[in-house]
C-alpha cells in the first residue's frame, strides 16, 4: 500500500513545542506526502487518510484505537514517552524506520479488541471497546470486591479480590502483567482473565478462547456503593447492584504497522 495521505497525532505533553512534529512533517512533505497535524483524533480528520502516525507513548496509541478501528486505518507509533511498548520505534530511529515503511518493508498486525456491555435484567447496553483491558474494581482499593465469573453461561469461579482484569493479547503486557497475569503473543486469539490480589491460594489467571463469552457479577460485600468498570484505564463507568458485566471479542481490530524485522521477544526484553 502506498501511503500518500498521512495524519500525525501529537501528544503535546510529550512534544510540548511540537519541535519533532514539525521536523517530521517537513521530512514527509519532502517525500511528496500530504500531511495533516492534529492534537486529537476524530471521525472527521481521519477520513481519507492512508496512515496515522502517533507521537507520544502507548497511551496515545490506545487513545486513537477506538476511532481508527472503525475504518481500519493503520497506525505507526513513534515513542516520545517512557515505555513505548506498542510504538514501533523511538524518536532517534524514527526516520530510518519510516523510510522502511514508506518503501513497503512492513507488515500490518491486526490487534484484537474487546467489547464491554452492562446487562440489567433484559436490558443490555454497550459500554465501549478496548485495545488493552476491561477492569472491574472498587473506587476504594482498601476494600475487597466479591464477584462471580461465568464463561459461556457456566459458573467458573467465585472470587474475593481487589478486582478483575479481562485483557487482550495486547493488554497482556500492561496491567495484566503487573497483576501476575500471563503474557500472550500478539497474534494469538485469546483473552486473559486475571484476579487482582485475590484472597485465595487457588485463584489463578485464566487464558480463554477469543470466542468465549465472559460475564462478571459482583456480590454483596462490605457495601456496594463504589463498584465501577474501567476501559483502557480511561473511561470509568459506575455500576449499580444487579449489573452483569459482559465482555466479548470485538469485530474491529487496531491495525499496527510493524517493520519486517521487528521481533516481539526482542521488544519484550528491551522494554520489560
Does residue 164 share a domain with residue 43?
A: no
CA 107 to chain centre: 19
Same domain, yes or no: 42 and 123: no
Q: Tell me, yes or no, whether 185 lies in a domain.
A: yes
Q: Is 83 in the same domain as 147?
A: no
Last residue of a domain, which of 76, 104, 132?
A: 104
Domain range for 79 is 5-104
Residues 35 and 156 in one domain: no
The 8 Å CB, 24+ separation contacts for 138-146 are 138/162, 138/163, 138/226, 138/227, 138/228, 139/226, 139/228, 140/226, 143/222, 143/223, 143/226, 144/199, 144/221, 144/222, 145/218, 145/221, 145/227, 146/218, 146/219, 146/220, 146/221
Same-domain check for residues 122 and 245: yes
- Residue 269 lies inside a defined structural domain of this protein: no
Domain C-terminal end among 84, 104, 124: 104
Q: Are residues 138 and 214 in the same domain?
A: yes
Q: What grid cell was written down for 106?
A: 512492513
Beta bridge partners of 215: 150, 246
Q: Give the CATH number, domain containing residue 239.
A: 2.60.200.30
Q: Which residue, of 104, 121, 150, is where some domain finishes? A: 104
Buried b (16+ CB within 10 A) or exposed e, 13-47: ebbeebebbeebbeebeeeebebebeeebeeebbe
**Does 221 lie in the same domain as 92?**
no
Active site residue 58: yes
What is the Cα–Cα distance from 186 to 261, expressed in whole angstroms?
Answer: 15
pLDDT at 85: 83
- State residue 51's pLDDT score: 97
**Is 159 within the bounds of a domain?**
yes
Listed in sequence order, the DSSP H helices in the chain are: 19-29, 58-71, 94-102, 175-178, 264-271
Instruction: Determine which one of 58, 140, 219, 232 is catalytic.
Output: 58
Residue 263: inside a domain, yes or no?
no
User: Does the CA dihedral 99-102-106-107 come out positive or negative?
Assistant: positive
Is there a single domain that holds both residue 33 and residue 150?
Answer: no
The CATH number covering residue 37 comes to 3.40.50.10330
Q: Phi then psi for 100, rounded to 5 degrees?
A: -60, -45
Asked whether residue 256 is domain-assigned, the answer is no
Are residue 135 and residue 59 in the same domain, yes or no?
A: no
Do 221 and 143 lie in a common domain? Answer: yes
Distance CA 189, CA 169 (A): 7
pTM for the model stands at 0.93
Q: Which of 198, 200, 68 is nearest to 136 (CA)?
A: 198
Q: Mind listing the pLDDT tens digit for each residue in 45-82?
A: 999 999 999 999 999 999 999 999 998 999 999 999 77
Domain count within the chain: 2
Cα–Cα dist 267/22, whole Å: 28
Task: Render each residue's pLDDT in the chain as its tens digit; 272 residues.
Answer: 689 999 999 999 999 999 999 999 999 999 999 999 999 999 999 999 999 999 999 999 999 999 999 989 999 999 997 777 899 999 999 999 999 999 999 999 999 999 999 999 999 999 999 999 999 998 877 788 899 999 999 999 999 999 999 999 999 999 999 999 999 999 999 999 999 999 998 899 999 999 999 999 988 655 566 899 999 998 889 998 889 999 999 999 999 999 988 888 887 877 77
For residue 264, being part of any structural domain is answered with no
User: Do 120 and 95 belong to one domain?
Assistant: no
- State the DSSP code for 226: -
| Same-domain pairing of 220 and 121 | yes
Dig out the grid coordinates for 78 from the structure. Answer: 513513534
Amino acid at each position: 500500500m502506498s501511503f500518500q495521505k498521512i495524519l500525525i497525532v501529537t501528544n503535546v505533553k510529550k512534544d510540548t513545542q511540537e519541535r519533532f512534529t514539525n521536523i517530521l512533517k517537513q521530512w514527509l512533505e519532502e517525500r511528496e506526502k500530504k500531511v495533516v497535524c492534529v492534537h486529537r483524533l476524530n471521525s472527521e480528520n481521519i477520513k481519507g487518510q492512508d496512515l496515522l502516525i502517533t507521537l507520544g507513548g502507548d497511551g496515545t496509541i490506545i487513545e486513537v484505537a477506538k476511532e481508527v478501528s472503525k475504518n481500519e486505518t493503520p497506525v505507526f507509533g513513534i515513542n516520545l514517552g517512557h515505555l513505548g511498548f506498542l510504538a514501533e520505534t523511538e524518536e532517534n530511529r524514527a526516520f530510518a524506520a519510516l523510510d522502511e515503511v514508506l518503501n513497503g518493508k512492513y507488515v500490518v498486525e491486526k490487534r484484537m479488541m474487546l467489547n464491554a456491555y452492562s446487562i440489567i435484567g433484559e436490558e443490555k447496553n454497550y459500554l465501549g471497546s478496548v485495545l488493552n483491558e476491561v477492569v472491574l474494581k472498587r473506587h476504594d482499593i482498601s476494600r475487597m470486591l466479591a464477584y462471580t465469573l461465568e464463561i459461556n453461561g457456566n459458573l467458573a469461579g467465585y472470587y474475593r479480590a481487589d478486582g478483575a482484569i479481562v485483557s487482550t493479547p495486547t493488554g497482556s503486557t500492561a496491567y495484566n502483567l503487573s497483576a501476575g497475569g500471563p503474557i500472550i503473543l500478539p497474534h494469538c486469539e485469546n483473552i486473559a482473565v486475571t484476579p487482582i490480589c485475590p484472597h485465595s491460594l487457588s485463584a489463578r489467571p485464566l487464558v480463554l478462547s477469543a470466542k468465549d463469552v465472559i460475564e462478571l457479577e459482583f456480590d454483596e460485600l462490605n457495601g456496594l456503593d463504589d463498584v465501577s468498570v474501567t476501559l483502557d484505564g480511561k473511561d470509568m463507568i459506575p455500576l449499580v447492584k444487579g449489573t452483569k458485566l459482559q465482555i466479548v471479542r470485538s469485530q474491529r481490530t487496531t491495525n499496527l504497522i510493524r517493520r519486517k524485522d521487528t521481533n516481539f521477544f526482542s521488544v519484550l526484553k528491551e522494554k520489560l
